[in-house]
Structure 1
Amino acid sequence: MPGLDTSYDVHKIVENIGRLSADLLAETCQQILNYLQGHTKGVDSTEISDRFQRSGVSLDQDTIQNITRYLLLTFRSAGKSNLSGDELVLRLEDGCTKWPRAILQVMHRLWSEQGPLVHAQQDAQAILSIGQLVDMQWKLGMAVSSDTCRSLNSPYVSLLLKIAHPSGHICQRSFEMTIPQFQNFHKQFKEMAAVLETV
């Protein structure tokens, strides 16, 4: 269904999904749907693996990750296309004929209930489409040569920001500021924090 990596064998993944109980599949899908709705920061494959083992499903870590990725891509793609539960099931059946009926019923029920919420979250992310500040480090230094400082031996602040983009890619940005620039930056950050607390 979704644009899966060629290393995935969709039929094998569907066969492995078919080994799950309806309850275990529902728990796994719920964790993925919570992430896609913006309720959690990610999908914890270790937690999913532990649930599988506690339920007596013996699958290796790579297989569990392939199942998780497939379900994540399936729900993400369905959200972008704003599919109904019936349309999702039809797409799944078109992609592979090995889907057990009980599994499709779980997917249909969960998507019918939560698909619109995933779609709304994706619309909001597309509109905002901004990165998230993951880490910020700073250090105080003394300028020996600089484009912005007029005299040498002027103090400056060096900032390193790590930003997670909506695609999942994390990039780093670094820059230097004079002390007055840093004080202004700090003041603006405090104002933003105060506004965010009221939201």
Structure 2
Amino acid sequence: LGVDKTVENIGRLPPDLLAETCQQILSHLQGQVRGVDSAEISDKFQRAGIRLDQDALQEVVQFLFLTFRSIEKNNLSADVLVARLAEGSSKWSKAALQVLHRLWSDQGTLVNTHQESQAMLSIGQLVDMQWKLGMAVSSDTCRSLNSPYVSLLLKIADTSGQISQRSFEMTIAQFQNFYRQFKEMAAVLETV
């Protein structure tokens, strides 16, 4: 029942939007981008008038990702991909299956090649880092008000390609130590 609902949601997508979503997933599987940005996909869906809640969107992206990944791992053709999807659910639209067939026919070998080379790596990657300087002006628990702090936002792509955000704050002294450590790493990398 859950698969059928996800397949119905995929079928609601116009072919060009489905192709664009799949392309982002395939680009990640080929190593061209570091992850699949669900927030960006959600914005595109909303601009196209497709209303899906966050869970349904995640299910669509995850289903497509796992489908392409499974087909790649088993080294299957686009014809087998479409046949297996049709066997798994009767809810597939012909247009959606055609999009998936075309994309896998065009890009399946590129995904296979990249995934073979990446098989040994299983660590997340830093996609983006943003920072800003702030000033603590009110707090229930903090005694040192009016002291500056640095807020960091990290975007990290995990091994499945999902991008998550992590944020934290540091005192100026902690940030200076963090900066020194990064400088040391950069110096070591220059010698490599």
Deviation of the 1:18 alpha carbon: 0.6
C-alpha RMSD of the superposition:
2.9
Superposition TM-score, scaled by structure 2 size: 0.66
Q: What is the TM-score when the length of structure 1 is the normalising length? A: 0.64
Aligned residue for 1:98, secondary structure, equals coil
Aligned with 1:86 (options 73, 76, 79): 79
Q: Structure 2 stretches of 5 or more lacking a match?
A: 127-155, 162-183
SS at structure 2 position matched to 1:99: coil
- Cα distance in structure 1, aligned partners of 2:11 and 2:25: 18
Q: Is the counterpart of residue 43 in structure 1 residue 55 in structure 2? A: no
Q: Deviations over 1:115-134 (max 9, x none)?
A: 1111111111114x354675
Counterpart mapping for 1:120-139 below 5 A: 120-127=113-120, 129=121, 131=123
Identity percentage over the alignment?
56
One-letter code aligned to 1:68: V
- Checking the alignment, whether the CA contact within 8 Å between 2:34 and 2:157 is kept in structure 1 is no
Q: Partner amino acid for 1:80?
A: K
Distance 1:15 1:84 in 2: 23
| Greater RCO, 1 or 2 (C-alpha within 8 Å, sep 6+) | 2
Question: Are the equivalent residues in 1 in contact too, given 2:82–2:97 (CA < 8 A)?
Answer: yes
1:110 to partner: Cα distance: 0.3
Q: Which residue of 1 aligns with 2:150?
A: none
Show structure 1 runs of 5+ residues with no match: 1-7, 135-162, 169-185
Q: Could you say if the C-alpha distance between residues 124 and 99 of structure 1 is closer, same or farther in structure 2, counting changes exceeding 3 Å? A: same
Q: CA separation of 1:190/1:164 partners in 2, compared to 1, >3 Å: closer, same or farther?
A: farther
User: 1:9 and 2:2 equivalent?
Assistant: yes
Mapped partners of 1:45, 1:165: distance in 2:
13
User: 2:72 touches 2:108 (CA, 8 Å); kept in 1?
Assistant: yes
Which stretches of structure 1, 4 residues or more, deviate above 2 A after TM superposition? 129-134, 163-168, 189-195
Contact 2:15-2:99 within 8 A present in 1 as well:
yes
Q: Letter of the 2:45 partner, please give it.
A: F
